[in-house]
Amino acid sequence: MKQAIINIESNTIVAETLYQSSSATKRSLAIAFIICYISIMFSGISSMLMSVYLPVAVKDLLGNVTDERMNYISAYINSIFIFGSMFGGFAWGFICDKIGRSKAVIFSTALYALFTLLTAFSSSWLLVGFYRFVTGFGVGGVILTTNILIAEIWSEKRRAIALGIVSAAMPVGFIVAGALNNLIPEWRNAFLTGIIPLVTAIIAMFVLAEPESWKQIKNTADTEINRQIFSIDYRKNLVSGSVVFGAMLIGLWAVFSWAPTWVQSITADANKANDLRGITMMILALSGLMGSVVSGWIVNLIGMRKTMMLCFIVCFIMTAVVFKLNTSVTNTTFIEMGLLAFFFGISQGALSVYIPSLFPTKVRASATGFCFNIGRLFTATVVFFIGALVTFLGGYGNAVFIFSFIFLIGFITTYLTPALKAGINTR
């Protein structure tokens, strides 16, 4: 059994047990990895299906409406999903600490899967909005609980790599969502893919075990660590973790949510625009996938702080290049998008390791959920206002670029955060 010592300036927090190498057999590791990977991948599909099919779905639900009306409804649907994922991330953190890592993974997966299915049978955009909110609530839980589960059962040596690979499942889902746009013209049929994660959750009920570290903390009273995540011991980590994660999340959703619609807005040929929307999402997702896969090795090579600073500055520069310098979609545009998404992917893999490691087992899910999701409040607002203010701001390109300045806030916070310099030491 090993303990993690997290040094934050003059404070030292003892995290009871990050893992127990003897408790996780190869079989249990494999089962957990496969279930988490499938759950995350299909949460990525569910997350991006509506973005990919948005122009088609809104017209199907509303008929022929003005562009201004379509932008408003589209912004509503996108932002309500993110609000749902924000509330889900907060709630599932506490649920995860209360009922266990595996149970939380199972229930959050079943929830988003069920409401993805229900979206296929929606009769109005208001109903779509409600279903997307609940879907987001489940997806927010999956993003959190799968990371916590993987972090607690893998050894320190392999944890960064395992989390980097499993976090790559999300962009794989984005790729599939983009491919579905070209393979399944009817948007309702695409949402029937929710049946797969629903079946996965049912199977997981019988094969997915709880980490021994959580079992010990659940059954053992420990007076050394304050259970309150807002105590002075964790406060600085909560603030810095929330800002760093939130800044990248806001930028990621601003780009990924509106890139397909931006592509359509600068493409004159409607038939060509439909294909380019799908290609755009696949390019972004494939590049993000590659970034997530290599993130563990990059963090081990140059360190967490330098990795995040590099991601923030490159993402800011490439957002300006993509959305300000392109007036039509070319092969060069796709290369630029690919580079932008590659560093998005690196950041997501890196943060999947960093944020959970800041907190002890008792409050790890709750505190990580806070850091993961406080930024979603601002993200949902940003995504809404990009759509609502697109005309005022002079088009989707200008709107996304203006909001990309959040990357600079993330860069500065990373530079000034001592916790990112200290990281984790195991003893």
Q: What is the DSSP code string of 164-179?
A: HHHHTHHHHHHHHHHH
Please report how many Cα atoms fall inside a 13 Å half-sphere around the Cα of residue 148, on the Cβ side.
37
C-beta of residue 311 within 8 angstroms of C-beta of residue 347: yes
Q: Is the CB of residue 292 less than 8 Å from the CB of residue 168?
A: yes
Stretches where the chain sits below pLDDT 50 are 1-23, 221-226, 421-427
Taking the C-alpha atoms of residue 414 and residue 313, their distance in angstroms, rounded to an integer, is: 11
Torsional sign, CA 179, 390, 246, 99: negative
User: Who's near 238: CB < 8 A, 6+ residues apart?
Assistant: 229, 230, 367, 370, 371
Give residue 422's pLDDT: 39
Query: Measured between alpha carbons, how far is 145 from 204 in angstroms, rounded to an integer?
Result: 14
- CA dihedral 316→408→251→315, nearest 10 degrees, is 30
CA nearest to 175, candidates 283, 40, 295, 53:
283
Q: What is the pLDDT of residue 399?
A: 75
Q: How far apart are CA 116 and CA 65, in angstroms?
A: 26
Report CA 40 to chain centroid distance, whole Å.
Answer: 9
**Residue 337 is encoded by which pair of tokens?**
């998008």
pTM: 0.69
The pLDDT score that the predictor gives to residue 388 is 61
- Render pLDDT for 321-373 as a digit per residue (tens, 0 to 9): 998 888 888 889 999 999 999 998 899 888 877 787 777 777 777 888 788 77
Strand order in the sheet with 425-426: 11-15, 4-8, 425-426
Dist. CA 25–CA 2, nearest whole Å: 17
Question: What is the domain partition of the chain in residue ranges?
Answer: 4-426
pLDDT at 189: 94
Q: Are 70 and 58 in contact (CB under 8 A)?
A: yes
Here the tokens at position 319 are 């957002």
pLDDT of residue 86: 80
Residue 66 is given by DSSP the state -
3-state secondary structure of 330: coil
Q: Which CATH superfamily is domain 4-426 in?
A: MFS general substrate transporter like domains (1.20.1250.20)
State which H helix or E strand residue 78 sits in: helix 67-99
The CA distance from 86 to 261, in Å, is: 23
Q: How far apart are CA 1 and CA 24, in angstroms?
A: 12
Say what the alpha-carbon torsion angle 286, 322, 320, 302 is, to the nearest 10 degrees.
Answer: 30
Q: What is the DSSP letter of 193?
A: G
Taking Cα atoms as reference points, which of 383, 389, 404, 390 lies closest to residue 77? 383
Q: Are 39 and 146 in contact (CB under 8 A)?
A: yes
pLDDT of residue 77: 82
Closest listed residue to residue 174, CA positions, set 278, 79, 246, 292: 278
H or E segment and range at residue 65: none
pLDDT digits (tens, 9 = 90+) for 177-235: 878 887 888 899 999 999 999 999 999 999 998 887 777 766 654 434 445 667 777 77
Query: Which stretch of DSSP H or E encloses residue 12?
Result: strand 11-15
Q: How far is CA 172 from the centre of its chain?
A: 12
pLDDT, residue 11, reads 36
Cα–Cα nearest to 75, from 335, 327, 379: 379
CB 144 within 8 A of CB 376: no
Question: Which contiguous run of DSSP H or E holds residue 4?
Answer: strand 4-8
What one-letter code names the amino acid at 157? K
Cα dist. 331→179, 336, 422 in Å?
18, 9, 42
What whole-number percentage of the chain has pLDDT above 70? Answer: 83
What CA–CA distances, in Å, run from 18 to 142, 148, 281, 356? 20, 10, 36, 10
